[in-house]
Chains A and B, each alone.
Chain A
Amino acid sequence: MRVREADHQQDEDEDDTLDDYDYDEEDFYRENRLITEHFKRAWAAWYVAEETLREYPASYGPQSFGFIALGRMLELIKAAKQLL
Chain B
Amino acid sequence: MHLRFADLNDPGCKECLELAEHASHAVDFQKTGTPVKFQDIPRLKKQPKPDFLSREGRDPTGENFYNSKKLLGHLFRRVPLEHWTPDEWDGVDSPSNGEVIEHALRGVGLYGLGLPALERPLEELHKEMQYLLDEYCDQLTAIGRVHTLSRNKDIPVSEAELVSGTLMANWSDHHRRREAVNAMNLQVSINFRLVMPEPCLILSRHMNSSVLCGLKCE
Could you tell me which A residues sit within 8 Å of B by CB distance? Answer: 27, 30-32, 34-45, 47-50, 52-54, 57-70, 72-73, 75-84
Chain B: CB-nearest residue to A47: B121
Q: Would B113 and A77 count as touching, CB distance under 8 A? A: yes
In the complex, what's the smallest C-beta–C-beta distance from A29 to chain B, in angstroms? 9
Q: Which residues of B contact A (CB under 8 A)?
A: 91-96, 98, 101-102, 105, 108, 110, 113-116, 118, 120-121, 125-126, 128-130, 132-133, 136-138, 140-141, 144, 156, 159-160, 162-163, 192, 195-196, 201, 203-207, 211-217
- Cross-interface CB contact of B116 among A43, A47, A54, A68, cutoff 8 Å: A43
State the Cβ distance, B188 to closest chain A Cβ, in Å: 9
Known: A47-B126, A47-B129. Contact between A35 and B215, CB under 8 A?
A: no
The answer on a CB contact under 8 Å between B115 and A77 is: yes
Number of inter-chain CB pairs below 8 Å:
143
Residues of the A chain whose Cβ atoms lie less than 8 Å from the Cβ of B133: 45, 48-49, 52, 61-62, 65
Whether B159 and A60, one on each chain, are in contact in the complex, defined by CB atoms closer than 8 angstroms, is yes
Closest B residue by C-beta to A41: B215
- The contact of A81 among B113, B136, B137, by CB within 8 Å, is B113
Nearest-neighbour CB distance to chain B for A81, whole angstroms, equals 6
| Chief secondary structure at chain A's binding surface | helix
For the complex formed, measure the closest distance between the CB of A25 and the CB atoms of chain B, giving whole angstroms.
Answer: 13
B44 → A minimal CB distance (Å): 47
Complex Cα distance, B136 from A40, in Å, reads: 19
A69 to chain B, nearest CB (A): 6
Contact A47 B120 (CB under 8 A): yes
Bound-state CA distance A43–B126 (Å) is: 10
Query: Given A43, A57, A73, A77, which contacts B94 in the complex, CB threshold below 8 Å?
Result: A57
Closest Cβ of chain B to A33, distance in Å, is 9
What are 16 A-B residue pairs whose CB atoms fall within 8 Å in the complex?
A: A30-B203, A31-B204, A34-B212, A35-B212, A38-B214, A38-B215, A45-B215, A47-B129, A49-B133, A53-B94, A61-B140, A62-B133, A65-B136, A68-B215, A77-B108, A79-B207
A83 vs B113: C-alpha distance in the bound complex, in angstroms?
A: 9
Q: Which residues of A contact B215 (CB under 8 A)?
A: 38, 41-42, 45, 68-69, 72
A66 touches B98 (CB 8 A): yes
Q: A53-B95, A67-B163, A79-B204 are in contact. List 20 more A-B contacts (CB 8 A).
A: A34-B212, A35-B114, A38-B212, A44-B121, A54-B98, A57-B92, A57-B93, A60-B144, A61-B137, A61-B141, A64-B163, A66-B96, A68-B195, A69-B195, A69-B215, A73-B105, A79-B207, A80-B115, A83-B114, A83-B206
